Amino acid sequence: MSDELIVTYVENICVMTINRPQARNAVNGATARAIAEAVDALDERDDLSVGVITGAGGTFCAGMDLRGFLDGDRPSIEGRGFAGLVEQPPRKPLIAAVEGYALAGGCEIAIASDLVVAAETAKFGLPEVKRGLVPTGGGALKLHRQLPYHVAMELLFTGDWLTADRALQYGFVNRVVPEGAALDAALELARTIAGNGPLALEAIKRIVRESQDWSAAEGVRTQREIADPVFRSADAREGAKAFTERRAPVWTRR
């Protein structure tokens, strides 16, 4: 694993910390490859249920490392996009814990996440237009689905910031917490999620993420194809049994 990313494990939660504070955690090629490796491990390991991504030193991520870009170092991976993540997020739930700036590609990491916990001083933005660039890591494609259309277009056209409080107002973030508390709050949320059925979590995420491209008839059929194996699983029986026995379920992912 690269020094640009610190990976730690808290119970069944994988915490990925971008560790380039001297560059405001701007992502270079090594960081992107490390994130992709950590995401693969999150999906492959049965003992992990939720991922949390954050940044070291009070900043989430300032986007692409422009110095590296000028030297030919690309912070993207074919088929996975910026930071090895935005085009192919993990199958398991991912929470962004945001302190400070989440700009450009950093904002697009938040867009690619399933939930966002932000410090009250956090700022989100897609300033690519100010540099004559286009936010192709999900900003132009997805922001208008996560914010009201006119709000999204203002941010895309002006490159201005969205404060944490305003982001909460629009439903772009799930929690706003005091400065310095984003990771702890994200872990609290992750623990709640991680206590639920892992097969169900993955199925729900897949349905939500993929269904925007389904027709009505296709949606009914494809949702059933994804969900039926979960209903037939040992975990589904364990969930029902644990409820009747008034105890916490013991998931096996089978």
Q: How confident is the model at residue 209 (pLDDT cuts 50, 70, 90)?
A: very high
29 pLDDT tier (thresholds 50, 70, 90): very high
Q: How far apart are CA 214 and CA 207, in angstroms?
A: 10
pLDDT tops 70 at residue 1: no
- Mean pLDDT in residue range 209-234: 92
How does pLDDT run across 154-189, given as a tens digit for each residue? 999 999 999 999 999 999 999 999 999 999 999 999
Q: Residue 30 burial (CB < 10 Å; 0-12/13-18/19+)?
A: middle
Q: What is the dihedral of CA 137, 65, 134, 154, to 10 degrees?
A: 90
Confidence of residue 73 (pLDDT cuts 50, 70, 90): confident
Average pLDDT across the chain, whole number: 95
pLDDT of residue 213: 84
Does 11 qualify as catalytic in the annotation?
A: no
Respond yes or no: is residue 179 known to be catalytic. no
User: pTM for the complete prediction?
Assistant: 0.95
Residue in 108, 179, 188, 245 annotated catalytic:
108
Cα first-last separation, the chain = 30
Q: Rg of the Cα trace of the chain? A: 19
| Per-residue confidence (pLDDT) for residue 199, from 0 to 100 | 97
**So what's the pLDDT on residue 171?**
97
pLDDT single digits (tens) 110-150 = 999 999 999 999 999 999 999 899 999 999 999 999 999 99
87, 99, 128, 202: which is the annotated catalytic residue? Answer: 128
